[in-house]
Structure formats: structure tokens, C-alpha cells
Amino acid sequence: MLGRFEGDSLRQPGKTTLRTKEGPAAVNEAIEYLNRAAPVRQLRWNPELGKAARDHVIDIGPKGLVQHESSDGTSVKERLKRYGKIVTCYGENLSFHCETAIEVVLQLLVDDGVPNRGHRENLFNDDFRCCGIYSGQHKDFDTMTCIDYCASFVRAGDEDPIERQMDEFLKEEVAFDDMPMDIRGWK
């Protein structure tokens, strides 16, 4: 990849030359990051997150939008909640003008022009355990990919195992030897 740069422009065989914001410096930074990074766990596919990613691509792609919010202003969180319950944390990456999975990952990893490297941070967020991905057409960039991540996701209508455990725990009666008979709880 580094050998394809002419200044800040990246030559892409068979594609339009891409004018980057940071040039090879961002690629070198990504390489340095990878050399220091600890491995993260493999993500599990979640079909419900895949549906949420599909909805987003089908919504904003034909309109030429480049944003995490839906065209009607719906947030990522609300879009995910249409398909179930987010457990702990969530995130989203969008990629544009990439035709293959490796191009998408490289774009998110290098994260050219993104000062906080938020896309890279999502890729290496060890709290994320599952994801859904969808790629489709984009009016201005030909293709786009949406990746939605969660620590865990409970499909709409399914029982939340953590909620069930908490309900069982809270129903347990615990007796204390020194608890007065007229007191039902402690503050």
C-alpha cells in the first residue's frame, strides 16, 4: 500500500486515485499501532445486527448520505433497538468506496483524516463480542459497508439471560440473625 502513494494520493489499480488527507503517515501510524496492539477476540455474527446494518445501507446509500443517523434522524442506538436489546455497549463503523472486505478493514484501520481514530478503536474494542455487517450501493461512492457492534445483543422477543438471573436473585429471601422482626430490609 505504501508503494502506491504519490504524495498524498493513493493509486488504486482499476479504480479512481484516492486523495487522502494524511497520506502515507496514517498508514505508517496504523502499522506502528498493529505492531503494539494486543490481539482481540473474534467477533460472532449476529443476524439481528446484520438486519440493522442492512437497514442503514438501504436507507442512506441511495440518498448519498454519509452519516451514522438514519435519513429521518434516528440514532444508531434506536435503529439497533428495533431488533432487540443492546447489552452493555455498542458501536458502528461506516466504510465507503471499498469493494472487498480487506479494503473495508484497511480503510477502517488506517482511519485517514479521523483525528481520534474512532473506526480503528471500534475494530480493536475488546468489549465488542458480536457484529452485523451489510454492504450495498451508495449514490456517490458506489459502495458502502455498515458494521454494527455490541458486547451482547438479545433478539426482540427473546428472554434476556442477565435479566432472568437478576430477577431470580432479587426474589431470594435472605434472613439475618440480628434483623428485627418488624424490619423487611436494610438501608
Instruction: Identify whether the C-beta of residue 20 lies closer than 8 Å to the C-beta of residue 51.
Output: no
* Phi, psi for residue 59 in degrees, rounded to 5: -75, -55
DSSP 40-85: -PPPEE-HHHHHHHHHHHHHHTTTT---SS-TT---HHHHHHTSEE
Specify the pTM: 0.84
Residues with Cβ within 8 Å of 77's Cβ and at least 6 positions away in sequence, in order, are 86, 90
- Residue matched to cell numbers 437478576: 166
Distance CA 106, CA 161 (A): 36
Pairing mode, strands 84-96 and 18-19: unpaired
pLDDT score of 78: 97
pLDDT score of 174: 63
pLDDT score of 182: 66
Calculate ∠ Cα 59-149-39, nearest 5°: 140
pLDDT score of 184: 58
pLDDT tens across the length of the chain (187 residues): 898 899 998 998 888 888 899 999 999 999 999 999 999 999 999 999 999 999 999 999 999 999 999 999 999 999 999 999 998 899 999 999 999 999 999 999 999 999 999 999 999 999 999 999 999 999 999 999 999 999 999 998 888 777 777 767 777 666 667 766 666 554 4
pLDDT score of 154: 93
Maximum alpha-carbon separation in the chain? 82
The DSSP bridge partners found for residue 139 are none
Extract the C-alpha cell encoding 93. Answer: 463503523
pLDDT score of 179: 64
> Residue length, the chain?
187
pLDDT score of 156: 87
pLDDT score of 161: 73
Distance CA 165, CA 183 (A): 26
